[in-house]
């Protein structure tokens, strides 16, 4: 019996200690010193082809992929960053090289690339974007369109020093 009582005491003591630790942990200010870096999304790198060329637009266009690139921490816009974009569109599959293209961010860290209309593939209408130029840690994104009828899609990068 004493063993059981002892166990219960240990449990209560341990539980209390855990609670205090948890509560204290909550009171410690979160280490969110500004803007947190964007994590790669699941499946973001699927059908990635390295070195997509910088293009005026992918194929015939008609659909806009837009977004921003900022620096983790202070959130400063990053100009001249190369973003690669690919998707299953009306003009080709994700794996087709002609479905891939890249663009650079402007002085405000904004990128905009015209491409063919994205159509649902593998169950969702979605696009792929990559940052892998090396100055910052590589990030792969896979945003999903809220409707297959949308004619634009956006994705935002917050990059961390590599």
Partner 1 sequence: MSLGSIRAVLTWICIALLISVPIVIAAQSPLLAWRRPVYIVAGFAGIVGMAFLLLQPMLAASMLPGLGGSRGRSLHRLVGAGLLVAVIIHVAGLWITSPPDVIDALLFTSPTPFSVWGVIAMWALFVTTFVALFHRKLPGWRRIHLSLAIAIMTGSIVHAMLIEGTMEPTSKAMLCAAVFLATFIGIFGARRARRSWLRR
- Which parts of this chain interact with partner 1 (CB under 8 A)? 41-47, 88-90, 93-95, 119-125, 142, 148
**Nearest CB to partner 1, comparing residues 104 and 148:** 148
CB of 55 to partner 1, least distance (A): 20
CB atoms within 10 A of CB 37: 16
Give me the residues paired with residue 80 across strands: none
List for the chain the helix, strand, coil content (%; round to 5).
Answer: 20, 35, 50
**Angle, alpha carbons 96-98-99 (nearest 5°):** 70
CB of residue 21 to partner 1, shortest distance in Å: 32
Query: Residue 136 has which token pair?
Result: 């910052």
- Chain length of the chain: 162
For partner 1, which is the closer residue by CB, 103 or 114? 114
Of 22 and 123, CB closest to partner 1: 123
Whichever of 34 and 43 has its CB closer to partner 1, that residue is: 43
How far is CA 57 from each of CA 64, 74, 161, rounded to the nearest angstrom? 9, 31, 29
Three-class SS state of 141:
strand
Least Å distance, CB 39 to partner 1, is: 12
Q: Tell me how far apart the alpha carbons of residues 14 and 36 are, in angstroms, rounded to a whole number.
A: 34
């Amino acid at each position: 019996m004493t063993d059981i009582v002892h166990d219960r005491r240990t449990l209560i003591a341990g539980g209390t200690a855990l609670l205090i630790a948890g509560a204290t942990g909550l009171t410690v200010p979160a280490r969110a010193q500004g803007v947190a870096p964007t994590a790669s999304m699941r499946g973001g790198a699927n059908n990635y082809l390295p070195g997509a060329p910088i293009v005026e637009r992918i194929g015939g266009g008609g659909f806009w992929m837009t977004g921003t690139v900022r620096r983790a921490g202070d959130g400063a816009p990053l100009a001249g960053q190369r973003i690669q974009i690919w998707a299953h569109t009306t003009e080709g599959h994700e794996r087709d090289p002609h479905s891939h293209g890249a663009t650079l961010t402007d002085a405000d860290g904004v990128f905009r690339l015209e491409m063919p209309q994205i159509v649902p593939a593998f169950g969702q209408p979605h696009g792929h974007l990559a940052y892998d130029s090396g100055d910052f840690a590589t990030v792969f994104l896979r945003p999903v369109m809220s409707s297959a009828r949308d004619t634009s899609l956006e994705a935002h990068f917050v990059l961390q020093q590599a």
